[in-house]
Amino acid sequence: MNRRRCATAAAISLVCALTVLAVPGQALAAPEPQPPVSVTVPGPMAPPPPSASLEAVRLQIDALYRQAASATDAYNLAKERTEKQSAEIVKLAQEMAKGQARIEDLKNRAGAAARAQYRAGGLPPEAQLALVDDPQLFLDGVGRIQQGQKATKDLIAELTQTQADLAAYSRDASAHWERLEAGRLKQEKAKKQIKAKIAAAKKLEDKLEKEELRHLLQLEQQAQYKAQSQWLDSGILDEIDGRASEQGRKAVEFATAQLGKPYVWGAEGPGSYDCSGLTSQAWAAAGRGIPRTSQEQWRLLPRIALQDMRPGDLIIYHADASHVGMYVGDGAIIHAPRPGRNVTVAGAGSMTILGVVRPDK
pLDDT, tens digit, for every residue of 168-224? 777 777 777 777 778 778 878 888 888 899 899 889 888 888 888 888 889 999 999
Give the rounded distance of the alpha carbon of 304 from its chain centre. 19
DSSP state of 41: S
Q: How confident is the model at residue 40 (pLDDT cuts 50, 70, 90)?
A: very low
pLDDT above 70 (res 255): yes
DSSP state of 336: -
Report the distance separating Cα 189 and Cα 277, nearest Å. Answer: 20
Which of 145, 112, 111, 113 has the alpha carbon at shortest distance from 128? 145
Tell me, what's the pLDDT at 71?
A: 86
- Catalytic-labelled residue, pool 16, 176, 215, 323: 323
Residue with more model confidence, 19 or 344: 344
In this structure, are residues 113 and 147 in contact, taking their beta carbons and an 8 Å threshold? no
> Helix 210-233 crosses helix 2-11 at what angle (to 10 degrees)?
140
Q: Sign of dihedral through CA atoms 204, 205, 211, 216? A: positive
Q: What percent of the chain has pLDDT over 70?
A: 71
Per-residue burial over 223-259, b if 16 or more Cβ lie within 10 Å, else e, is bbbebbbebbeeebbeebebebbebbbbbbbbbbbbe
Tell me, what's the pLDDT at 126?
A: 53
Tell me, what's the pLDDT at 175?
A: 78
Residue 323 bears catalytic tag: yes
- Catalytic-labelled residue, pool 16, 176, 215, 275: 275
Tell me, what's the pLDDT at 50?
A: 47
- Catalytic-labelled residue, pool 16, 176, 215, 335: 335
Query: Residue 269: which residues within 8 A CB-CB, separation 6 or more?
Result: 258, 261, 277, 278, 281
Query: Residue 251: which residues within 8 A CB-CB, separation 6 or more?
Result: 282, 283, 285, 286, 288, 312, 326, 359
Q: How confident is the model at residue 143 (pLDDT cuts 50, 70, 90)?
A: low
Report the distance separating Cα 152 and Cα 157, nearest Å. Answer: 9
Q: How confident is the model at residue 120 (pLDDT cuts 50, 70, 90)?
A: low
Q: How confident is the model at residue 137 (pLDDT cuts 50, 70, 90)?
A: low
DSSP state of 55: H
Tell me, what's the pLDDT at 39?
A: 36
Tell me, what's the pLDDT at 152?
A: 64
Strands (E) located in the chain = 303-304, 314-317, 323-329, 332-335, 344-347, 353-357
Tell me, what's the pLDDT at 183?
A: 76
Lowest mean pLDDT among 135-144, 157-166, 283-292, 345-354: 135-144
Q: Is 356 helix (H, G, I), strand (E, B) or coil?
A: strand
pLDDT above 90 (res 113): no
pLDDT above 50 (res 272): yes
Report the distance separating Cα 107 and Cα 129, nearest Å. Answer: 26
Q: Sign of dihedral through CA atoms 287, 288, 294, 296? A: positive
Q: How confident is the model at residue 52 (pLDDT cuts 50, 70, 90)?
A: low
Q: What is the mean pLDDT of the chain?
A: 78
Residue 215 bears catalytic tag: no
In this structure, are residues 322 and 345 in contact, taking their beta carbons and an 8 Å threshold? no
Mean pLDDT within 302-314? 96
Residue with more model confidence, 77 or 161: 77
Report the distance separating Cα 189 and Cα 77, nearest Å. Answer: 12
Q: How confident is the model at residue 110 (pLDDT cuts 50, 70, 90)?
A: low
Report the distance separating Cα 152 and Cα 160, nearest Å. Answer: 12
Mean pLDDT within 304-310? 95
CA–CA distances in Å: residue 184 to residues 81, 95, 156, 240: 9, 24, 42, 43
Lowest mean pLDDT among 163-177, 316-330, 333-347: 163-177
